[in-house]
Amino acid sequence: AAWLPPAAFRELGSRPVLVHGEGLLVDTVLDEVSRACARYGGRVWHGPPWQVDADLVLALREAGRVPNVAAESARLGATPAVNGAGDGALGDEGYLLARVDGVTVVLADAPAGLLYGMFHVVRLGAAAFDDELPARRHRPALDRRILDHWDNVDIHPVSGQIERGYAGGSLFWRDGAARHDHARLRDYGRLLAACGVNAITVNNVNVHDTEARLLTDRLGDVAETAQVLRPYGVRVHLSVSFAAPVVLGGLPTADPLDDRVRAWWAAATRRVYQRIPDFGGYVVKADSEGRPGPFAYGRDHADGANLLAEALAPHGGVVRWRAFVYDHRQDWRDRSTDRARAAHDHFAPLDGRFDDNVILQVKFGPIDFQPREPVSPVLAAMPATRLAVELQATQEYTGQQRHVCYLGPWWSEVLRFRPRGEAGGTIADVAAGRAGAGGGLVAVANVGDDPFWTAHPLAQANLYAFGRLAWDPLLVPGAILDEWIDLTWLPVATGDPETVRRTMHAIMDDSWRTYERYTAPLGVGFMVRPGHHYGPDVDGYEYTPWGTYHFADRDGVGVDRTRATGTGFTGQYPPPWSEVYESRERCPDELLLFFHHVPYRHVLHSGRTVIQHIYDTHFAGVEEVAAMRERWRLVAGAVDPAVHDRVAERLDEQFRSAVEWRDQINTYFFRKSGVPDAHGRRIH
């Protein structure tokens, strides 16, 4: 399924293969290779013996116990690492891939490396057996590559089985109980390993009553999930409630400085590790959107996070403490409160106070996963804290998996952003920390029990791209897409593969920018229907307590976040961005309305006025969707009919929705501004 149809293993499966090594993940490699060989006529040995005529050797490098190959590995060891430490070590997940005397060789120092190396061979297809294959070490840039599932065990009255889930039910839970669907879970583990993801969180950050008990009497279900995913190198994390000592432990308080509370967490955590020795750690949403937290006891977030860190430390676990903290009950009349400022105001002063095994998990932007936001200033403000960057694969604000929106280019832009200007590091460097030991990259998962995993078959690419970017943030989004097309679609294409490839690229490459064009303009955000967040509603959030306003009036639009006349948010950035964003003239067009309130006739760098930009992009966005739909029609017959139908049906909805967006946005701003479209197009 998805990017591992059996046919993706054709090249590997039609050859003699030697697998050397012992261990759970080596068994996984052996199992994968055996199945492929059974299907495509290859042969597999589990070495020793060594003297076999293999085309592919997948071997653990144990003290030179691999004849011939050992000597070669020493020589090849001189080639530079693609990623990771420059010391030449392969680490727990790295591998060396080379061609040695007509044999393709994957060497690793630990079983996970062998598994990742095998999937690399699958990805390369025939090219893996080409004598020109360059010898290279591969190591992930980030040690932590995690998907957070916002899955509920019970069906929650507001958020359902999966909060912000658009692909059916949960893979783990159904109607209040574990699903025990091991076959599906194992398939999921394979997909994750093949793109490089090595951890998941099995429940929603909003931890309700039933889900709180996953930590205690329902721990068996978590252990079962961990057991099914373990052979694919995927570790399990749990979202926990800060109030657990009260709601589960019967204590009168959850005060982080209370000894009874500390003892409760220590004991609960010990029991978790007794059941799940490789358990990853906890995720906590505290004092955020009504969740319990340390504020109730007059303590701060460092006190709260360190409490859990202390319980996890003896077992090697981490607590991921979310920085998504803001006032969700603000008065819209209050112009002094700015939601964008909140995370930095709360957390930057705490830099240096967190224990070593605390990771502060920061949403990539200061507001909330909008299709365009500046990068969060928190990511440049806490050099003494391990920071994880949180992305959203589930398309809450990017079309809810009814619209095509390939997020690779957006994430790549975020990861390559240099918050201190050209001389400083990137956001990917922040997530990597020293030698990969930083907080890593996290995405909110976009999968469910839908037969296509992600409801929109093309949304699978976002999951794939997340894993690949977490492994190597410098990968080019178009190349990742190409890999995904190669693995997913071409092995099963029923028509000309190159046409399929071209069509996919034409539809997806620029689809995030297309989405941006027909929705909210110039970084303003949140013009969505309140609650479910699908479709346009320009004033839907304008007079609400959520802090997401655009301030459009008859003269202009946008939020003044400058130091000179606004909320001062620009001052949370280091130079040069503090200056660039402060200046109307220098601020990038795509973020203008995030930082400035400007007249409709303000002229952008593009040479167009703001109002004309709004009209032009909304007309263009709809035309681009119409073109996507035409292109997709042309590959009917070249891809599986069920997939074709599903995508076609979604493109119809995307087109309908894009027209709705265009007409509401254009009409709204025409009525506010009274400025007609320079091209006289129809505005209602």
Distance CA 534, CA 169 (A): 19
Annotated active-site residue 154? The verdict is no
Nearer to ligand GCU, 442 or 557 (CB): 442
Determine which one of 368, 390, 450, 582 is catalytic: 368
Beta pairing partners, 360:
321, 387
Nearer to ligand GCU (CB atom), residue 371 or residue 556: 371
Helix (H, G, I), strand (E, B) or coil at 652: helix
Judged by DSSP in three states, 181 sits in coil
How do strand 235-239 and strand 199-201 relate by DSSP bridges?
parallel
- Specify the residue, 515 or 577, whose C-beta has the smaller distance to ligand GCU: 515
Q: Cα 46–49–54 angle (5° rounding)?
A: 70
Based on the residue annotation, tell me whether 289 is a catalytic residue of this protein: yes
We find the least distance from the C-beta atom of residue 363 to ligand GCU, in angstroms, to be 7
Residues that bind ligand GCU (CB under 6 A): 163-164, 205-206, 285, 324, 368, 396
Peptide bond into 48 cis (omega under 30): yes
**Beta carbons of 242 and 186 less than 8 angstroms apart:** no
Tell me which residue has tokens 């658009």: 166
Q: In angstroms, rounded to a whole number, what is the distance separating the alpha carbons of residues 297 and 441?
A: 31
- Report, in Å, the least distance between residue 459 CB and ligand GCU: 18
Structure token digits, residue 170: 């949960």
Residue 166 C-beta: closest distance to ligand GCU, Å = 12
CB of 390 to ligand GCU, least distance (A): 8
Ordered DSSP codes for 190-256: HHHHHHT--EEE-S-SS--HHHHGGGTTTHHHHHHHHHHHGGGT-EEEEE--TTHHHHTT--S---T
Could you tell me which residues come within 8 angstroms of residue 41 by beta carbon, excluding any fewer than 6 positions away? 13, 14
Record the tokens describing residue 207, joined without a space.
């931890």
Nearer to ligand GCU, 3 or 347 (CB): 347
- Cis ω on the peptide bond leading into residue 277 (within 30° of 0)? no
CB-nearer residue toward ligand GCU: 221 or 396: 396
* Cβ 481 vs Cβ 406: under 8 Å: yes
Indicate the residue among 447 and 622 with the shorter CB distance to ligand GCU.
447
Task: Decide whether 164 or 650 has the Cβ nearer to ligand GCU.
Answer: 164
Rounded alpha-carbon distances, angstroms, from residue 663 to 54, 600, 651, 655: 63, 18, 18, 12
Q: Is 624 a catalytic residue?
A: no
Spell out where 65-131 has E strands: 95-100, 103-108
Nearest Cα residue to 431 out of 376, 470, 477: 470
Burial group, residue 306, by CB count within 10 angstroms (0-12, 13-18, 19+): buried
Cβ at position 430, least distance to ligand GCU in Å:
20
Shortest distance (Å) from residue 160 CB to ligand GCU: 11
Contact (CB, 8 A) for 473 and 426: yes
Under 8 Å between Cβ of 138 and 273: no
Angle (CA) 59-65-68 rounded to 5° is 75
- Least gap, CB of 274 to ligand GCU (angstroms): 30
Q: How far is the CB of 352 from ligand GCU (least distance, A)?
A: 25
Q: Residue 143 or residue 368: which is nearer to ligand GCU going by CB?
A: 368
Tokens representing 531 are: 């609650």
Q: Which of 289, 331, 498, 649 is catalytic?
A: 289
Question: Considering 11, 55, 396, 560, which one is annotated as catalytic?
Answer: 396
Instruction: Quote the least distance from Cβ 65 to ligand GCU, whole Å.
Output: 48
Query: What backbone phi and psi angles, to 5 degrees, belong to 360?
Result: -90, 120
Select 163 or 616, whichever has its Cβ closest to ligand GCU.
163
Beta-bridge partner residues of 156: 160
What angle do the packed helices 460-471 and 477-488 form, to 10 degrees? Answer: 120
Distance separating alpha carbons of residues 347 and 294, to the nearest angstrom: 14
> By C-beta, is 54 or 325 nearer to ligand GCU?
325
CB of 565 to ligand GCU, least distance (A): 29
Question: Active-site residues: which are they?
Answer: 289, 368, 396
